[in-house]
Every structure is written in C-alpha cells, then in structure tokens.
Amino acid sequence: MFFVYIALIFKIPEKVGARRIVHAPHAQPHTMNIALPHAGTDSHSTGHRESSPTESLEPSFLITVPIVCAAMRDTLLDPEGLIFIKKSAYNTPECKKPVEILKDKDEEGLKSILKIIGTQYPFGFLKKEGIAYSKELSAEDIMLGRGYTMSKDKLLSLYSTYVTQVCSSLIPYTARGIVIHHGSMGFELMTGNRVSTQSRGSESTEWIMPNLTNLSLRVAIEKITAHTSHVKVYGSGYVIEQHPKPFERMKGESECVIYGRTDTQ
C-alpha cells in the first residue's frame, strides 16, 4: 500500500500511460509527404527533356554530308577531283569539287555524284547504319533526305563518324532551318533563330553566289541563307531571276534578291 500511495502522489500512471502516444502515427506520414513532391518534380523534368520536338526529323540535305563523306572515305570519290555538272536548259555546265557541291546544296551536282558512286550506295549506307526507309524510295530520295526520318541523335552520330577533316569546312551546315555545328560535346543540332547567327561567317568571309535559276523558292532560300540573312523574295513558285547574278564573288552579309513565278515556261 505504501508504494500505491507514493505512485498516486507523484502521478506516475499519467506519465507511463498510452494517452500521450496516440498522435505519434501522424508524424511518419507528415515526414513522407515532404519527400514525395520532390520525386514527382524530378520525374516530370526528365520526361520533358526526352520528348524533344526534334527527336525525329526528315534529314533533307543534312544527310548528304555524311553519305558523300563516307563515299570519299571508301575511295569512291576523290575529294580534290572535279565533277562535271550538266545543267538543264540555258544554264552553263560547270565543274565542282564534292565539298563545293555539298556547300552549295547543288541538287544537279549531287545527282552527278550519285552516278559516280552508284545508285545502290545510299541504300547500303542506310542499311549499314540501321536506318529504316521505304522500298518505294529512289536513290535520289535517299541521297537528298526525302521521304524518310531518323532520330537527331542518329544524325549527329553519322556526322561524328564520317565528317572528318576533309569535310570540316562544311561545318556549321544548315538545311531547312536546322544547323549542325561543333559544340562543347562534339556535333550538336540547333533550330530556330539561333541558326542564322552561328551558321554564317563574318563580314570578311568571301563566298560565291549560287545559281538559283529554276529552283523552287524553298530550295533557293535554303541555299542563299547559308551565306547571308539579307534576302528579299518576290513572287512564288520557281526562281526566274536573281541579283546578284550566279557565280559572282560575294563578301559577308550581302543583300540578295530572288524573283519567282509559278509558271516557268
């Protein structure tokens, strides 16, 4: 009884009772709820980065560079050899080196290259690199990057593999508003307004005005904007006139004017 009285005096039952721990279970969920939002935020950020709008693209002229560079590496093309380019209608025939054809995005020149390396070469190139394409496509379609797509990472890997010192003067290379350039991590791809400022040279850079006659305005604009951003376009359809004239020596951001007409006859 003595011990019972002592316990009652010092209120020992209240100190050892279960009433003070009934709120403890709430502490653990509260702590977990703090961590969950951080995990969700990280996951969302990673998913957004991976779903890039340029993850897959039709390569256009961007694919011609690694294909032609691969052909030169396989000794099917002489980097210093002149390739005869037969122009249609009244255009003057000319000869260019392979790199010059690539730089000018000269479709007729690329067709001449195709005759030299063989029409099966572009198909074999895509097959070796694991790039899917429709059997209905022609060798010209493959060469000019039309009618099929590939991931941007695959395109960049082709540049890393095939675009060596021989073709280094082509970089940065621009087509359809996309530029491939040398970055801190190797070849990189950019789109949008950033292309125009980094894909052209300084005001002292010299270049030759390409022949745009009979090209579609879209193709003509792609060719000329690789050299200058000061371009005025009048009309639509196909180019019937241009200023400056073809093959004039230009410097820096010179102004160019092209005139188009739907009916070229």
pLDDT of the residue at 11: 54
Structure tokens given for 37 = 């939002």
What the chain holds in terms of domains, given with CATH numbers, is 58-199 (3.40.710.10), 205-265 (3.30.10.20)
pLDDT of the residue at 8: 53
Q: How far apart are CA 82 and CA 79, in angstroms?
A: 8
> pTM of the prediction?
0.56
What pLDDT digit, counting tens, does each position of 53-105 carry? Answer: 448 889 999 999 999 999 999 999 999 999 988 765 555 678 889 999 998 88
Residues of the chain with confidence (pLDDT) below 70: 1-54, 87-92, 191-204, 262-265
First-to-final CA distance of the chain: 123
pLDDT of the residue at 81: 92
pLDDT of the residue at 77: 94
- Cα distances from 247 to residues 81, 101, 205, 208, 211, in angstroms, run 20, 13, 15, 5, 7
- Of 210, 242, 207, nearest to 223 by C-alpha is 210
- Of 111, 91, 81, nearest to 210 by C-alpha is 91
pLDDT of the residue at 91: 57
